[in-house]
Amino acid sequence: MPDDTATLGLPEPPGPAPERYGVPVARCGGTGPAYAALDLGTNNCRLLVGAPAGGGFRVVDSFSRIVRLGEGLAATGRLSDAAMDRAVAALAACSEKLARRPVRHFQAVATEACRRAGNGPAFLARVEAETGLRPRIISAREEAELAMESCSPLLEDQDRRALLFDIGGGSTEIAWIRVPGAPRQGQVPAELIGYVSMPLGVVTLAERVGASCFTQEGFAAVVEEVAEHLRRFDRVHCIGQEIRAGGVRLIGTSGTVTTLAGVALALPRYRRPLVDGRVLDIEVADQALGDLFALGRAGLAAHPCVGPERVDFVLPGCAVYAAIRRVWPVPTLTVADRGLREGMLLRMIRADRLQGRYGSSRRYGL
C-alpha cells in the first residue's frame, strides 16, 4: 500500500534502505528529543514521530489508517456519524501511542473535510474530549506551504521553479514555487509564489463520478473538468511559458503519484525508500497510468500497490494527474512520499534549532 506504514496502523518493519527526509536517516529507537505530527485528512489519519538527525529527522514511530472522514460530505455538507466514529477510533490509537512516548513538541492538523463540514468544529471538540488531541484546522495555503516545506529537499540548484501538486481526499492543492539561489546546508530555499486549492480530491470525485471513471469517456470528462481549473491558474502565473523556458521541476506528493511510481517500478510490494525522491520520465509515468486503467476494478483491488481499500480512489486520482500532465507538459515527474506531517516535523525541529534548545522531552499536549 502506498504509505510509509502498514495498513493496520503498525510501523513498517525496518528495510535495508534508509528513509530520507532531507538527509540520509534510519529508523531508530526512542532516544533523544522526539517530535510528533498528526494529519487528519479527508481519507486518512496519519501520525509521524521523528527525532532530529543532521539537517532532517529519523523516524521513531508512525501510524496510518484509512478513515474516510469525508464520506458523504459533498452531498450533505456534514461529517457523518459513522465517519466521525472511524476517525475518533484512529485518533484514540494515536493518542495511546503518544501517551507511551514522551515528545518535545506535538502538532495536529485537520484539512479539507473539517474545513468544509458544518459540524467540523463540533467534531473536533468531540475529538479533544475523547482523545485529548486538539487538531487545528489549517487553511489551504498553509497546507500548500507544509507540502512545500517537506518537498524542498528534493529540489536541486539547477531548478528555477517548481510545480508541486498534492492530490488529497477532499481537494487538490497546486503550489507554484520560486527556487532562489544555491543550496544551503544541503537544502534549497523555496518561496511560494502562488497556490490554488481545487475542491476535487479522490474521495469527492469517486463519490460524484462513481464507476464512470472506469470508462474512457468518464475518465476523459474528469480530466477535462480538472484541466479547466488548472488553465485558470496557469493564466495568472504563466506557468506554461516558464516550463518552455526550462528549469521547472514537477513534484507530486499523494497516494496517486506514489502508486504510479510503484507500478512503473514493478514493485511486488510498495516500499517507500524505493519511491520517495524517484524521478520518472513522464512517458514512464504515463505508461503506469495506462497500466492501472487497463486493470479494471478487480485488477486494481488485487494489485500490491493499490488494494481493495483504495480501489475506488485510484482512477479519480489518475484523472487529476492526467489533467496536470495535459496542461503542464514537464519532461519528468519527481515522486514525493512525504507531505504535511514531514513539513510539520521539519518546522518544529528548525524552530528549536534557531532558539538553541533541545531540552528534555515532555508528554504531548502539555
Quote the pLDDT of residue 47: 97
Beta strands at 44-53 and 136-137: parallel, antiparallel or unpaired: unpaired
Q: CATH fold of 19-139, please?
A: Nucleotidyltransferase; domain 5 (3.30.420)
Spatial separation of the C-alpha atoms in residues 318 and 120, rounded to whole Å: 28
Quote the pLDDT of residue 211: 87
- In this predicted model, what pLDDT tens digit does every residue of 243-252 receive, in sequence order? 999 999 999 9
Give the residue among 97, 249, 80, 90 at the shortest CA–CA distance from 178: 249
Whether 117 shows a pLDDT value over 70: the answer reads: yes
| Segment holding 315, helix H or strand E | helix 314-327
| C-beta separation of 193 from 148 below 8 A | no
- Residue 241: exposure state from Cβ atoms within 10 A (0-12, 13-18, ≥19): exposed
The mean pLDDT value for 184-203 works out to: 81
Whether 350 shows a pLDDT value over 70: the answer reads: yes
The band of 365, judged by pLDDT with boundaries at 50, 70 and 90, is very low
Assign domain 141-340 one CATH number from 3.40.50.2020, 3.30.530.20, 3.20.20.70, 3.30.420.150.
3.30.420.150
Give the residue among 271, 237, 186 at the shortest CA–CA distance from 14: 271
% residues pLDDT > 90 (the chain): 76
| C-beta separation of 339 from 40 below 8 A | no
Q: Which amino acid is at 328?
A: W
Residues of the chain with CATH 3.30.420.150: 141-340
Length reported for the chain: 366
Residues of the chain with CATH 3.30.420.40: 19-139
The band of 7, judged by pLDDT with boundaries at 50, 70 and 90, is very low
Beta strands at 161-167 and 248-252: parallel, antiparallel or unpaired: parallel
Whether 364 shows a pLDDT value over 70: the answer reads: no
- Residue 62: exposure state from Cβ atoms within 10 A (0-12, 13-18, ≥19): buried
- In this predicted model, what pLDDT tens digit does every residue of 82-114 receive, in sequence order? 999 999 999 999 999 999 988 999 999 999 999
Spatial separation of the C-alpha atoms in residues 362 and 6, rounded to whole Å: 27
Is the dihedral angle over the CA atoms 363, 33, 350, 48 positive or is it negative?
negative
> Cα separations (Å) of 232 from 157, 196, 199, 325?
29, 10, 14, 15
Grid cell 476517525 is found at 87
Whether 68 shows a pLDDT value over 50: the answer reads: yes
Quote the pLDDT of residue 353: 85
